[in-house]
C-alpha cells in the first residue's frame, strides 16, 4: 500500500502483557492522522519566470504545438487530468498497530522527488517539506496525542 513513508519516533508505547494498551492504540491512530494532515498540506504556488529567449527553435515549436493540442495549459494548474494528486495519496497504514507502529506514506510514483531529502529536485527544495522536516514538525504534537490517548483511557474517557 505505502511506497514512501515518514517516521516519527514516539519512544516507548505502553504495553500490557506484550500488547499495546487501548489508550495507546487510540493515540497512535490519532497521531497517524495528524502526521498525514501535516504531510498532505500543499505549499503556496510559486511562479518561476522562464526566459523563453533561451529556448531552441525545437523547444518553441513543441511548446506551441502542445499548447494548441491541450497537452499543456498555461498557467499550470495543480491536479490536472494526468495528475496523481500527490497530497491526496497520503495514507495511514495501521497494519502494525499491535507492535505500536503506524506508518504514514504516499504511493505516488513521483513522491520521492518531492518529499525525499536526498532525491528532492531543486524546484521542490525550500518549497515542499521533506519527510525529515515533516517528522520534525509533526513529532512533538504526535507524541502529545499518543500521551493524551493513554491518559484519557486511564481516566475512563
Q: Is the pLDDT of residue 2 over 50?
A: no
Residue 6: predicted pLDDT = 58
| pLDDT score at 16 | 63
Which tens digit of pLDDT belongs to each residue from 56-100?
A: 999 999 999 999 998 887 766 666 666 677 878 888 988 888 777
User: What confidence tens digit (pLDDT) does each residue in 113-151 have?
Assistant: 888 888 888 888 888 888 889 888 998 898 889 888 888
pTM over 0.75: no
pLDDT computed for residue 1 by the predictor? 41
- Residue 16 vs residue 109, higher pLDDT: 109
**Confidence (pLDDT) at 37:** 92
Q: Is the pLDDT of residue 17 over 70?
A: no
Q: What pLDDT, on a 0 to 100 scale, did the predictor assign at position 9?
A: 61
- Is residue 4 pLDDT above 90, yes or no? no
- Relative to beta strand 15-16, strand 19-20 is antiparallel
Q: Where are the domains of the chain?
A: 4-43+85-154
Amino acid at each position: 500500500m505505502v511506497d514512501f513513508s515518514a517516521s516519527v519516533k514516539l519512544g516507548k508505547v505502553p504495553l500490557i502483557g506484550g500488547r499495546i494498551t487501548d489508550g495507546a492504540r487510540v493515540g497512535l491512530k490519532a497521531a497517524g492522522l495528524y502526521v498525514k494532515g501535516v504531510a498532505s498540506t500543499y505549499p503556496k504556488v510559486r511562479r518561476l519566470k522562464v526566459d523563453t529567449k533561451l529556448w531552441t527553435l525545437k523547444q518553441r515549436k513543441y511548446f506551441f504545438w502542445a499548447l494548441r493540442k491541450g497537452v499543456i495549459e498555461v498557467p499550470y494548474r495543480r491536479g490536472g487530468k494526468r495528475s496523481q494528486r500527490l497530497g491526496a495519496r497520503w495514507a495511514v497504514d495501521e497494519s502494525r498497530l499491535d507492535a505500536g507502529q503506524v506508518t504514514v506514506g504516499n504511493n505516488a510514483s513521483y513522491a520521492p522527488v518531492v518529499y525525499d531529502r536526498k532525491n528532492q529536485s531543486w524546484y521542490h527544495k525550500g518549497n515542499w517539506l521533506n519527510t525529515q522536516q515533516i517528522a520534525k514538525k509533526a513529532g512533538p504534537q504526535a507524541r502529545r496525542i499518543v500521551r493524551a490517548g493513554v491518559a484519557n483511557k486511564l481516566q475512563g474517557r
